[in-house]
């Protein structure tokens, strides 16, 4: 997806809450937040648009993944948006989120973030 779009989503959702839920299915990726008084989110559908700013490719193994992450750290990662036009998000229940920026001929820049563990998960 476009790194500027990812940056905008993280910045706007951080104004509502400190934690974002990222839900991925084969057809969409959904970023959403909820707090006691307000909630909101963004849903991006998978597409192969020629315009890189609108492009969003989703590859999954068929299972819906829904994990929560600290927006504070995601917003730190988005500072790399100025050096890479596209960002790849790798999401799995078994591994931390990997945020990867392609840096033209220089290679890639990767950030890792473990999901937040809710109290419900701790009690299991």
CATH number at residue 68: 3.70.10.10
In terms of C-beta distances under 8 Å and separation of at least 24 residues, what long-range contacts does 98-105 make, across chains too?
Answer: 99/74, 101/3
pLDDT score recorded for residue 119: 62
Secondary structure E strands in the chain = 19-24, 28-34, 39-45, 65-70, 87-90, 97-102, 108-113
pLDDT score recorded for residue 57: 83
Mean pLDDT of the chain: 87
pLDDT score recorded for residue 79: 92
Q: Which residue has the tokens 């597409």?
A: 47
Domain count of the chain? 1
Domain extent, residue 99, equals 3-122
pLDDT score recorded for residue 89: 92
pLDDT score recorded for residue 123: 47
Q: Which residues of the chain have pLDDT under 70?
A: 119-124
């Amino acid at each position: 997806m476009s790194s500027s779009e990812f940056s905008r989503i993280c910045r706007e959702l951080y104004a509502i809450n400190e934690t974002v839920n990222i839900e991925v299915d084969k057809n969409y990726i959904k970023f959403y937040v909820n707090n006691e008084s307000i909630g909101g989110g963004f849903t991006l559908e998978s597409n192969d648009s020629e315009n890189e700013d609108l492009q969003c490719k989703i590859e999954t193994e068929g299972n819906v993944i829904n994990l929560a992450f600290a927006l504070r750290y995601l917003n730190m990662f988005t500072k790399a948006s100025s050096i890479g036009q596209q960002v790849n998000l790798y999401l799995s229940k078994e591994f931390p989120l990997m945020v990867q920026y392609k840096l033209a001929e220089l290679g890639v820049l990767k950030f890792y973030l473990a999901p937040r563990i809710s109290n419900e998960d701790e009690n299991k």
